[in-house]
């Protein structure tokens, strides 16, 4: 199907309706391995809904979700995660009663691995990210930035093929966002993971993404590389507003 032999994750003509309201209308987007794709758009544009529909948290009303050309639109989230599609959430969603290592290990067990193998994998991921010192800390007391990092670490358990990041830099300082950008580049470059990066920090998205989609009122109004996005009058009108610049 699709005539594309790359193992990609795609939305094809996806519409999501909540009652009479369309959160997404005929959205087509592809995430390819080893590359960073940006997704930007104003509040309420439909970005999180698109992540939900690509990860099995929401079924498309019409249209298809394709994983390696197979329609997985009816697959629930836990199954898609096993098939290699991982995400983070806008809000942390850690298990606050557990330490960091156990927060990651729970995901491994949910994926069908033993507790031991899950703990080994959790340490491997934390070490790879350079935050092994967080392992024994209670999730409840973590500073905000570390909480975001743990969310990403959890999503990286057992090497997913795709990682969808829903506003991972929200609330971060510029220096912290730069560190995050470097991490995301390593995820794509070293692990070969296909990344979809959703961010209000447009500068961050444009600096790391090879391809950017712009969503407005549930529709893709522009897509392309950095120069195409910054040159687009449609994007300026819809997203940046009359007198704003990309941060
Ligand atoms: N379960 C739902 N039921 C009804 N409407 C919903 C539901 N989920 C989202 N919406 C609506 O769909 C639209 C898109 O929401 P979504 O959360 O996808 O936007 P977003 O681009 O992620 O926004 P933000 O930048 O604020 O995170 C909004 O108008 C929202 O109110
Ligand atoms: Mg959102």
pLDDT at position 222: 95
In this prediction, residue 246 carries a pLDDT of 44
For residue 5, name the pLDDT band (cuts at 50, 70, 90): low
pLDDT tens digit sequence for 196-233: 999 988 999 999 999 999 999 999 999 999 999 999 99
Q: What percent of the chain has pLDDT over 70?
A: 94
- Model confidence at 43: pLDDT above 80: yes
pLDDT of residue 240: 59
**What is the structure's pLDDT at 158?**
98
Q: What is the pTM of this model?
A: 0.93
- Nearest atom, ligand 1, residue 49 CA: 18
List all residues 6 or more positions away from 142 whose beta carbon is below 8 Å from its beta carbon: 94, 100, 134, 150
Tell me the CA–centroid distance for residue 83 and ligand 1, in Å.
Answer: 26
233 Cβ closer than 6 Å to some ligand 1 atom? no
> For the chain, how long is the longest CA-to-CA vector?
55
* Whether pLDDT at 2 is above 70: no
Cα of 199 from ligand 2 centre, angstroms = 9
Q: Are 74 and 83 in contact (CB under 8 A)?
A: no
How many separate helices (H) and strands (E) can be counted in the chain? 9, 10
- Give the strands of the sheet with 194-198, arranged side by side: 85-87, 162-166, 194-198, 36-40, 211-216, 219-224
| Average pLDDT over every residue of 128-142 | 95
pLDDT digits (tens, 9 = 90+) for 160-180: 999 999 999 988 899 999 999
**Residue 161: alpha-carbon gap to chain centroid:** 12
In tens, the pLDDT along 236-245 reads 888 656 444 4
Q: What is the residue-averaged pLDDT of the chain?
A: 93
Residue 46 Cβ < 6 Å to ligand 1 = yes
How confident is residue 1, by pLDDT bands cut at 50, 70 and 90? very low
pLDDT band at 141 (very low <50, low <70, confident <90, very high): confident
Q: Which atom of ligand 1 is nearest to the CA of 45?
A: 21
Q: How confident is the model at residue 61 (pLDDT cuts 50, 70, 90)?
A: very high
- What pLDDT sits at residue 93? 81
The total of other beta-carbon atoms located within 10 Å of residue 132's CB is 16
Testing ligand 1's pocket by substitution, the residue of 16, 43, 48, 239 carrying the most ligand atoms inside 8 A of its CB is 48
Q: Is 91 in the pocket of ligand 1 (CB under 6 A)?
A: no
The CATH homologous superfamily for domain 9-91+159-240 is: P-loop containing nucleotide triphosphate hydrolases (3.40.50.300)
Closest alpha carbon to 22 in 54, 56, 55, 63: 63
pLDDT at 188 exceeding the cut of 80: yes
Which residue ranges make up each domain of the chain? 9-91+159-240
Residue 152: predicted pLDDT: 96
Residue-level pLDDT at 91: 78
> From atom 5 of ligand 1, which residue's Cα is the shortest distance away?
18
3-state secondary structure at position 165: strand
């Amino acid at each position: 199907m699709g005539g594309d032999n790359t193992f990609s994750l795609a939305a094809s003509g996806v519409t999501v309706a909540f009652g009479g309201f369309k959160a997404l209308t005929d959205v087509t987007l592809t995430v390819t391995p080893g590359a960073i794709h940006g997704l930007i758009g104003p509040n309420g544009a439909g970005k999180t809904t698109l992540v939900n529909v690509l990860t099995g948290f929401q079924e498309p009303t019409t249209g298809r979700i394709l994983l390696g050309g197979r329609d997985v639109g009816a697959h629930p989230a836990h199954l898609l995660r096993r098939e290699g599609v991982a995400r983070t959430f806008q809000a942390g969603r850690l298990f606050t009663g557990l330490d960091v290592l156990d927060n990651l290990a729970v995901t491994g067990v949910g994926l069908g691995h033993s507790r031991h193998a899950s703990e080994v994998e959790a340490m491997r991921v934390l070490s790879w990210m350079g935050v092994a010192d967080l392992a024994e800390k209670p999730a409840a007391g973590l500073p905000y930035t570390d909480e975001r990092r743990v969310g990403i670490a959890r999503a990286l358990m057992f090497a997913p093929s795709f990682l969808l990041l829903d506003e991972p830099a929200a609330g971060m300082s510029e220096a912290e966002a730069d560190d995050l950008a470097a991490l995301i580049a390593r995820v794509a470059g070293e692990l070969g993971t296909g990344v979809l990066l959703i961010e209000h920090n447009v500068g961050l998205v444009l600096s790391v993404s090879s391809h950017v989609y712009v969503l407005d009122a549930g529709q893709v109004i522009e897509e392309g590389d950095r120069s195409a996005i910054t040159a687009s009058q449609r994007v300026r009108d819809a997203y940046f507003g009359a007198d704003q610049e990309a941060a």
